[in-house]
Amino acid sequence: MNLVVVSNRVSRGKPNEPMTGGLAAALLPVVEKTGAIWVGSSGRVRDGNSKEPFAEVEALGAGALAMLDLPAAHYGGYYEGFANSALWPALHSRADLIRATHEDYASYREVNAFMARALLRFRKADSAFWIQDYHFLALGAELRDLGISQPIGFFLHTPWPARAVISGVPHHRALIEAMLAYDLIGFQTEEDCENFLSYVKNDLDLAVRDGVVISSSGRTRAAVFPIGIDPERFAQQATKAMTHPDVTRLRRSLNGEKLAIGVDRLDYSKGLGNRIKAFDRMWTIQPGLKRSVSLLQIATPSRGAIEAYGHLQSEIAKLVSDVNGAHGEVDWTPIRYLNKGFGQGVLAGFYRTAQVGVVTPLKDGMNLVAKEYVAAQNPADPGVLVLSKFAGAANELDAALLVNPHDIDGMARTIASAIAMPLAERRTRWEAMMAKLNSGTIQQWFADFIEALQDTHSVGDTALPEPRTMWPRRTADFAARYH
């Protein structure tokens, strides 16, 4: 089988390339190993006749990377408009932030159609297509319109919200009907999958049997595939990174002080404001922790052209400066706040250096930083993960200290207890979390999805498969091909 993977953002696999989000980092090692073709945006746009897609293709491990210039006339409406000002807020249950015009929707559909035409170039007789994320909800339908009858799967990296929230997105009905062109739709959690099926049943009035939607487009299976990481590779990166100059400088600067770390895109879904307020509260109620613990918060600028993100940038900068002003001393800065991206290797070293990882989104599909923080720890002296119960990762990493990211006082107390946690408890919790990471790696996620896609497609319209919400682990044969 020739697998074509599609996502808006891709990674070129350069060692020091700053990482721009979970999806690109997660897909890179599997594309490199499996020999898939990964098609995405080049980050550039092109004027003129968008009927002729231009792609730059380069090798990526055993696979290839094709980067496409997207049509200039539609890029803004697609990326900043419909994808990130209508879908992103809705998917993260922030209906109050939905802003999109009908032109934005038209551009979104144009870019989906453009991508479908571009994919024809990579199609072979035995191809299967695997579309990633909310940028391309309608790509399957566009491919079917072009006559593609091969397997097409879709995986959503974000959450899927309640019916009332997704209904706030203009053209939600047409979009979700278009999604039914996929053979298989994967979600991060049971809750996301149930929310989607509830919309399909109640708003589209379609029959759903054992997770399979029956529509005029055929049958679409919805199922849960929690995304993982490669814990072994990440642990190796972390060990190696301890001699990296940035990691060495960080360690030297601490002088015995403990470190908490947060690493996020600067996004309102990440709960950065509440996190900073929780540290403020912690130093207020436990002044003994001043000078003995500081926070390193890396907040990579993101989607700056969108109003909500511009506001967030100034709001967080002001909060950090207020907290540093209130608790800082001539020789001590409580929060080190960096607005830049780092390569994954260096981040792994930062995670290993920090005694506490704080991952407190208000809502998150999975949050791979949580998993990476755990994998990077020194087994003999692991740090503690403080994790929002609203991140998909909380379903698996229930041995973390789970917090409600809206409860600032509760977070303050939990972070203080993480700092004080005895070694024996840290090890027990860390071992439990590592066991989960090892049983749900990115390689397994990839293989499970592709196997389920092939099964679902071959079942086709003739019969309903056995009821399964979670697909079984891959067969030995299949594993051999995809490892």
Catalytic residues: 157, 364
CB of 303 or CB of 327, closer to ligand F6P: 303
* Near ligand F6P in 5-34, by CB under 6 A: 8-9, 20-23
Question: Considering the complex, what minimum distance in angstroms separates the CB of residue 310 from ligand F6P?
Answer: 15
Report 419-458 residues binding ligand F6P (CB under 6 A). none
State which residue, 338 or 423, has the beta carbon closest to ligand F6P.
Answer: 338
Dihedral (C-alpha) 1, 184, 363, 138: value to the nearest 10 degrees?
90
Q: Quick one: 42 or 239, whose CB is closer to ligand F6P? A: 42
CB of 132 to ligand F6P, least distance (A): 7
- Say if residues 289 and 282 touch (Cβ distance below 8 Å): yes
Residue nearest to ligand F6P (CB): 21
Smallest distance from ligand F6P to CB 157, Å:
4
Q: Rounded CA gap, 43 and 53, in Å? A: 14
Count CA within 13 A, CB hemisphere, residue 32: 13
| Strands 184-187 vs 152-155: parallel, antiparallel or unpaired | parallel
- Beta bridge partners, 384, equal 356
Taking the complex as a whole, the smallest distance from the CB of residue 298 to ligand F6P amounts, in Å, to 14
Residue type, position 248, single letter: T
Nearest CA to 269 out of 97, 462, 478 is that of 97
Question: Tokens 């895109």 label which residue?
Answer: 265
- Using CB under 6 A as the binding rule, the residues of this chain from 348 to 377 that contact ligand F6P are 365
Binders in 275-314 for ligand F6P, by CB under 6 A: 302-303
| Residue 185 or 415 having the CB closest to ligand F6P | 185
Residue 294 · residue 334 · CB < 8 Å = yes
Least gap, CB of 118 to ligand F6P (angstroms): 18
Candidate residues 34, 50, 85, 158; the one interacting with ligand F6P per rule CB under 6 A: 158
- Please identify, using beta-carbon distances, which residue of 133 and 142 lies nearer to ligand F6P: 133
| E strand intervals along 227-321 | 258-265, 293-300
Q: Which two tokens stand for residue 322?
A: 């207020």
Residues linked to residue 81 through DSSP beta bridges, in sequence order: none
Long-range own/partner contacts, residues 473-476 (CB < 8 A, 24 or more apart): 473/444, 473/448, 474/444, 474/447, 474/448, 475/451
Least distance to ligand F6P from the beta carbon of 368, Å? 8
Q: Which residue lies nearer to ligand F6P by CB, 353 or 367? A: 367
State the residue for tokens 């790696």. 441
Which amino acid would we find at residue 188? Answer: Q
Sheet with 384-388, side-by-side order of all strands: 335-338, 293-300, 258-265, 356-359, 384-388, 401-403
For ligand F6P, the closer CB: 133 or 280: 133
CB of residue 366 to ligand F6P, shortest distance in Å = 8
Which string of x and - marks every residue 112-151 that binds ligand F6P (by CB under 6 A)? ---------------------x------------------
**d(C-alpha 414, C-alpha 137), whole Å:** 38
Q: Which of 92, 94, 157, 352 binds ligand F6P (CB under 6 A)?
A: 157
For 161-199, letters b (16+ CB in 10 Å) and e give beeebbebbbbbeebbbbbbbbbbbbbbbebbbbbbbeb
Q: Which is nearer to ligand F6P, 74 or 303 (CB)?
A: 303
Q: Which residues bind ligand F6P (CB under 6 A)?
A: 8-9, 20-23, 133, 157-158, 265, 302-303, 365
